[in-house]
A and B are shown apart, each in its own frame.
Chain A
Amino acid sequence: MIPLLFAAALSLGEQAIQAPTTIPEMWGAWCARCHADDGSGKVAEPTIKVIPMDLRDCRWTTAEPDADWERAIAKGGPGVGLSSEMPGFEDSLTLSQIAGFVSHMRGLCKETGWPSGNNNFPRPIITEKAFPENEFALLPAVSHETEPSSAPATDFSLVAVFERRLGRRAMYEVAVPFYNWDFHSSRDAEIGDVAVAFKYAAFSSATTPGIVSFGLETTLPTGQLYKGFGKGTVVFEPFVAAGTMLGRWYVQTSGKMELPIDTLVNRVYLYNLYVGRGSSAALNSWTLGVELNGENHKLWITPQVRKELTGTGALAASLGASIPVKYRGEKVVSWVGYLVWEFLEPLRARR
């Protein structure tokens, strides 16, 4: 049970096997058995059934935080929802050795410029996430109207979002909203304004958590203006998103301007701040958070809870309540949330 550092030559009959003492030597003696010296996972004599991911591929080695990789080494594959053929090293390595292996593994990606996975924070419901992702998300919302002049009505919306990374730092996104609203005492279900966006991580610290991304979203007038499903004009929406950690707290913020081509349509300024914290280092843990969401002079507070649904963290759901603080219009509370799928990551371990 005692983590060991050792430097002895282990005698074996007439031959002697030099015990590895440095992280690269340990990698070569132990990890390379399955992962290969270069991290490719291609070895001459495979001894396991599930071939490891190619750790030279920067998409894999940069995208997740150190804590996830450290957990994989300490607890083995099952600790992160992956193959049980990867053993746990928590009883045989020190924490600093485990951190050293993570650093070594990160170094197998030979390209520079990839944003550090330490800046990949849990996605808030409304605040734009700065880290580029490969995700498919469904964002439902339910709000209950209590307009004095008419009967109470419940409105539903669902936004389907597809996000795909481009190169090392960029990402594009397509968002299609669907609405099911009460419209003059009858229900109406239609598509809203489709949006396409481009995001670029301009700054990402590899040492202390910190990321800043800029982007431009363009909303197309595909939704009907007179029913309130669209703005009836093309809208350019430049935005900025940033994130960091303060202690164990995730802090994320985003700001966006809606600049319609039609000058008769009002400009809108959106600003968001999210603060949250995970319940444990496990990938399927809970994250509690709260957002402040502003739109011009209106302000909402959105407490929320997020839960990763699989051991790998590839599927996650969030639920929150958007409560007006400064603006008390006819819509009192909106229930909001998401179901998000990181589609390049395995949902569960292969056997």
Chain B
Amino acid sequence: MGRLFGLGILGAIACAALATTAHAQAGSITGTVTTTAKGLALVRVTIDQKVCGNELPDHAIVVDGQGRLANAVVVLTGVKPFDSQALAQGKRLATDVTIVNDKCAFAPRVQIVRPNANVKATSKDPVLHTTHAQTDSGRTLFNVALPIPGLTITKPIGTAGNVRLVCNTHPWMRGWMVVTDDAAAISAADGRFALDNIPPGTYELRIWHELLKSAPRKITVTAGKPTDISVQMK
């Protein structure tokens, strides 16, 4: 038993050392996502105006004056996110995520979710919301009622790819969860994104957006040197 325990400790140290070495040799990708598309018109609210207001911004396309696009998900195919703790334990961690129904909108609008993570759905609004998660093919993963604020309901996301969130009582509400175990990042309000701790090599970079498209591209990562790119979506 003691020998086994000792071997376990040695294994953990070896893994940590391997991880540290990998970290030192890693490269990174930074970039900016832009688009020529314009932001969408305000959504006219037809129900629950006391809570939702009369008009709401349509966050399907969030773009600034310089064409920099937010909420684009950049995925490096085949590269698993570096996590020393998970590596030491010989598994990947599926971190739980939270989706908030806030002022009749899903917050955040777009998020990256690891496979088999739990989704915690909650609401801040004193009206009935539903959080209805559907796959690309329209299959329902779950649809939970959130009739009162403060309630949190936890559901597993499984291994579905892109998951669409809708509210069946407020049809303009949209949210997205990109379920992937690849290295991924979401472009911020200034269109910038960063993928750190990427092992050197050539990979396929895919960019997903709920309305806009961009072709996948090959990208080469060099150790110790950031690779900066620019992506335009149409």
Complex contacts, B10 vs chain A, CB 8 Å: none
In the bound complex, how far is the Cα of B47 from the Cα of A15, in angstroms?
A: 16
Known: A12-B51, A17-B51, A30-B128. A89 touches B168 (CB 8 A): no
Residue of A nearest to B145 (CB): A87
Known: A47-B168, A47-B171. A12 touches B126 (CB 8 A): yes
Scoring B residues 165 to 192 as 1 if CB is less than 8 Å from chain A, else 0, what string do you get? 0001111000000000000000000000
Q: Which of A30-50 contact B (CB under 8 A)?
A: 30, 33-34, 45, 47-48
Nearest CB of A to B226, in Å: 43
Scoring A residues 1 to 34 as 1 if CB is less than 8 Å from chain B, else 0, what string do you get? 1101010001010010101000000100110011
Complex contacts, A30 vs chain B, CB 8 Å: 128, 145, 147
Residue of A nearest to B121 (CB): A91
* Main SS class of interface, A: loop
Query: Are A4's CB and B144's CB within 8 A?
Result: no
Query: Are B153's CB and A10's CB within 8 A?
Result: no
Interface residue? B149 (CB, 8 A): yes
Interface residue? B218 (CB, 8 A): no
Q: Which of A78-86, A149-157, A220-228, A243-251 contacts B (4 or more CB under 8 A)?
A: A78-86
Interface residue? B6 (CB, 8 A): no
Query: Are A78's CB and B126's CB within 8 A?
Result: no
Query: Are B143's CB and A17's CB within 8 A?
Result: no
In the bound complex, how far is the Cα of B128 from the Cα of A47, in angstroms?
A: 12
Scoring A residues 55 to 84 as 1 if CB is less than 8 Å from chain B, else 0, what string do you get? 000000000000000000000111000001
Interface residue? B148 (CB, 8 A): yes
Interface residue? A184 (CB, 8 A): no
Complex contacts, B144 vs chain A, CB 8 Å: 76, 87-88, 91-92
Scoring B residues 107 to 147 as 1 if CB is less than 8 Å from chain A, else 0, what string do you get? 00000000000000000001110101010001010111111
B169 partner, pick from A1, A4, A12, A34, beta carbons under 8 A: A34
A88 partner, pick from B47, B50, B143, B148, beta carbons under 8 A: B143
- Size class of the contact patch on chain A: 20 to 34
Interface residue? A110 (CB, 8 A): no
Nearest CB of A to B172, in Å: 9
Query: Are A89's CB and B145's CB within 8 A?
Result: yes
Scoring A residues 270 to 291 as 1 if CB is less than 8 Å from chain B, else 0, what string do you get? 0000000000000000000000
Q: Which of B47, B138, B140, B145 has the most CB of A within 10 A?
A: B145
Nearest CB of B to A14, in Å: 10
Query: Are A85's CB and B132's CB within 8 A?
Result: yes
Interface residue? A351 (CB, 8 A): yes
Using a CB–CB cutoff of 8 Å, the interface residues on chain A facing chain B are: 1-2, 4, 6, 10, 12, 15, 17, 19, 26, 29-30, 33-34, 45, 47-48, 76-78, 84-89, 91-93, 351
Using a CB–CB cutoff of 8 Å, the interface residues on chain B facing chain A are: 46-47, 50-51, 126-128, 130, 132, 134, 138, 140, 142-149, 151-154, 168-171
- 6 residue pairs from A and B, CB less than 8 Å apart: A29-B128, A34-B168, A86-B143, A86-B168, A87-B168, A92-B144
